[in-house]
Each structure stands twice: as C-alpha cells, then as structure tokens.
Amino acid sequence: MKSSIVIITGLSGSGKTVALRALEDIGFFCVDNLPITLLDLFISKLAKKGKITKIGIGIDIREQAFFSKIDSALLLIRKKYKIEIVFLEAERGVLVRRFKETRRPHPLSSSVDSDIEKAIDKEKDVLMPLRVMANRIIDTSSYTPHQLRQMITSLYSGVTRKKSMSLTLMSFGYKFGIPQNADLLFDVRFIPNPHFIPGLRELCGLDYPVKRFIFEKSQTKEFVKRLKGLLDFLVPLYIKEGKSYLTVGIGCTGGKHRSPAITEKIAALLKKHSVDINIIHRDM
C-alpha cells in the first residue's frame, strides 16, 4: 500500500502544532521541523517498513535555509508518493494577538529588530512557494485550537477510505466572521431566531425544542428542500471534476441555533452520496 503523506506548513502562530498533533491522534506517524532535503530519505525509510502508511510532516520557517531546494524536493517525492500539502495562515492582527498572548517571540523577530508585524510579512514572502504548492489553504483566524483539531481530524481520519470526496458541512455565526476556507456559503438568517424565544435562548440547534421551532416554519422546509436539491446537483459534478474536498458553510447570526440545526438536517439528507460527510459547528 502506498504511503499517504500530509505536510503541515504555514505561518507561525497559525496552528501548525495543533494540526500535526491532530494527525498524530488519528494514527499518523508525525515528525516536526524535518529538513526538506531529508524528506525523500525519511519517507523511504518508513515506507520500507511496510506498517507505516500514514505520515505527517511539519515544515516551517525554521527551515528557510533549505527553501531554495523545496521545488525539486517536493517534485521528487510527489512522483513516488501520495502527498498533500496543507498551508495554515491567519490575519496579521490575529497572529500578532496570539504571539502577545503566548509571549513567544516570532522566529524571525531577531532579523527585523523585534518588529512582529515586519516578521510576519517577511515570513509570508519566504513561505509563498509553499503556499503556491499547497493542496489546501486554511485560514485559522476565527478558529479555536479545538475547532482546528476537529477540522483536521474530520479531513484526514478517513484518509485510507475509498470515498471519492470529503464533504464538510460547517455551521457558523456571521458576527464571528465568515469561514475563509468555505467553497459554498448559505445564509439562514431569514428564519425566525430562537434566540428571542423564552426557553430557547439558552439551548442550541441540536436540542429538540429548538429544532421543532425551526423546522415547523414553512420557509425552513422550503429552504432545506431547495438546498438539498442544489447539493444533489452539485456534489456529483464536483466529484466528476476530481475535487477532493468541498466545504459548505451555513451561517446564522451567532452560529448557535439556526445554522447548526440546518447543518445537521442537510448532512442527514446527503448520506446517499458517495462522500465522507464531516460536520463542524464552529461557533456553537
């Protein structure tokens, strides 16, 4: 069996360590900060053992001395193995805040007189070749470590399965920002909000009283019917085009009531398709 290799890379502070640990938790053999020039030798050694078929590798700015050879190194191993590059990033303000909260220096801070914003900009430039080569780019600006871990787990826990595409359905709240990695976005704020109904405000979209309130509305029934029809039409076309991942975002105001309920309903209705369905409730 061919080895499946996932390379986790991206900006410092974007969650690479969390992502790599998530891979480790679902059975990947993981190594961090491996020099790019040793990639082929390292993977070959593990592949020869036969039992290790899932490998996670962390690459970051600490290996910038080897970046001039990255194109040839990745081209070489892509000819031999199934490899996927995941590039994590976040907004500059979010990265600055994360470094201040952890009180950790940026890896490039010494080269730009400890100016963290300049360090972030420099890192973006250095890592651009990796970003261009990435199979998947994830903006973690609005993610907690738990949510990022959940996303990585949902994407790669079934890496050895033979489903044709991974479909992620994500509920979210618009007041916390739109998920940057969503392919399709749907707004369900037209549905009456349970937040303003006594007895429902403290519940969530997975609780029966909230679901009953939402799905008794005629506009909800019509929306679910039309959205299911649209996805029934689109999913086979995306599969035909060879798309490996599709993320559908369903948003309401706070991401607690309407969008989680609709997301769960749509997921149940799409089970007939030959896809791995993953559900993430980002803001619940």
Between 220 and 282, whose confidence is greater?
220
Which pLDDT value is given to residue 195?
95
**Nearest residue to 169 via CA among 278, 272, 254:** 278
The pLDDT assigned to 171 comes to 95
CATH superfamily, with its number, for domain 4-156:
P-loop containing nucleotide triphosphate hydrolases (3.40.50.300)
For residue 67, pLDDT beyond 50: yes
pLDDT at 161: 47
DSSP 3-state of 104: coil
For the chain, domain boundaries? 4-156, 165-281
pLDDT, one tens digit per residue, over 270-280 is: 988 888 888 88
What whole-number percentage of the chain has pLDDT above 90?
A: 42
CB atoms within 10 A of CB 71: 13
pLDDT in tens, 108-127: 877 666 788 888 998 898 88
Q: pLDDT tens digits for 13-56?
A: 999 999 999 999 999 999 998 877 788 888 888 777 667 778 99
Cβ neighbours of 105 (radius 10 Å): 13
For residue 160, what pLDDT band results from cuts at 50, 70 and 90? Answer: very low
Residues 129, 87: Cα–Cα separation, whole Å:
11
Per-residue pLDDT reduced to its tens digit, 161-181: 445 688 889 999 999 888 877
- How does residue 158 score in pLDDT terms, banded at 50, 70 and 90? low
Per cent of the chain over pLDDT 70 is 92
Tell me the DSSP string of 32-96.
ES--GGGHHHHHHHHHHHSS--EEEEE--GGGGGGGGGHHHHHHHHHHHSEEEEEEEE--HHHHH
* Confidence at residue 66, expressed as pLDDT on a 0 to 100 scale: 58
Sheet holding 184-187, edge to edge: 184-187, 245-252, 165-173, 275-281
Tell me the pairing of strands 165-173 and 245-252: parallel
Are the beta carbons of 88 and 22 closer than 8 angstroms? no
**Single-letter code of the amino acid located at 198:** P
Distance of CA 209 to the CA centre of its chain: 31
